[in-house]
Amino acid sequence: MSTPCARQAANVSMRRINQCGGLARSPNSQRSPNQGQVLYSRNATNTTASVGSRKIPKVLLAGGGVMAATIALGLTQTQVAQATVVEDRIQGVVQYVDGLYDSNKWKEALTYLEQHKDTNNHELLWRLARLCYKVGKYHSSGPEESRQLSVRGMEYADRAVRAGPNNFACHKWKGVLISYSSEFDGYKKKIERSFDIKDSFKRAIQLNPNDPTCRHLLGQWCYGVSSVPWYQKKLATMIFATPPNSDFEESLQHFQQAEQIDPGFYPMNWLYIGKSLLQLGRVEEAGDWLRKAANYQSQLGDDIEAKEEATGLLKRLGLSLS
């Protein structure tokens, strides 16, 4: 099952920033912050910033909390100020990487961010997983490099979930990386991991029910399971007591919910609404959604895929593009 994640087309990237689970960031600065510096060790916690051997609750650093931390923990203002600088540097790294990502400079972003690969900051880790997926899917030199990137991305995604269990983006990208890495596995392994994919997307939705991309991804899972040929379904029942199960009505529901949350957020969602409607025999309605995807102008991989597939479907159905 192919489960590409939410794609940020350059011309709508600022509207999609928060949909991808990122922190709000400024699009202006492209200066590389803290070149080569490792931000947060693997031993750091999610809610603290390290100052020497001490760990300061981040909440004390926010909103003029230097004095509060100084009083509460008996630290010097210099020590607390140092922790605040680290927090600011992490924000700088996030803004810089997201700027590269929104400019489709995924390889450059991955090379830069992997200087911080030993971090335990979940905002950096899920971005590392996302970049491994993007580079592996669209910019690798071949299948072996794609496989290696899927392995690296899976490691980052696992660490992201451990570091940020309440961050919906960590679960979302873990689901994406499980799906992507399973493309290099055998059929039995794919079925086994399919349950984990669904669980990751469902957890992401629980944590952020207003994110349309999570709904879209769960819809793709449902569509993929529903599209499995009958002989593979029979094989699955021989291997598993309860194999993955869904139907096209369920996939359509998720795609429509994603569209209701943010209309027009993602051409691939239009495509899959159309495909789900086709499977349900609602050809005229399907054509309307396929035309949206076929006529969308973009130079990004996912959007191009949606455009090409929608155009092909319309031609096979004998439907016009306009």
Q: What is the pLDDT of residues 50-98, one digit of tens each?
A: 444 444 445 444 444 444 545 555 556 565 555 556 677 888 999 999 9
Average pLDDT of the residues in 224-252: 86
Residue 308: the pLDDT is: 96
Max Cα-Cα span within the chain: 75
CA separation, residue 43 to residues 35, 40, 95, 204 (Å)? 21, 8, 24, 25
Tell how strand 48-51 and strand 54-57 pair up. antiparallel
* Strand extents, DSSP E, the chain: 48-51, 54-57
Is the pTM of the predicted complex or chain greater than 0.85?
A: no
Residue 77: the pLDDT is: 58
C-alpha–C-alpha distance, residues 113 and 61, integer Å: 25
Assign domain 10-265 one CATH number from 3.40.50.10090, 1.25.40.10, 1.20.1250.20, 3.40.50.300. 1.25.40.10
pLDDT over 90 for what percent of the chain?
Answer: 61
**Amino acid at the residue 77:** Q
Residue 10: the pLDDT is: 30
Residue 277: the pLDDT is: 98
**Helical pair 77-102 and 66-73, crossing angle rounded to 10 deg:** 130
Residues 6+ apart with CB under 8 A from 214: 168, 172, 201, 204, 205, 208
Residue 216: the pLDDT is: 98
C-alpha–C-alpha distance, residues 257 and 227, integer Å: 20
Domain ranges of the chain: 10-265
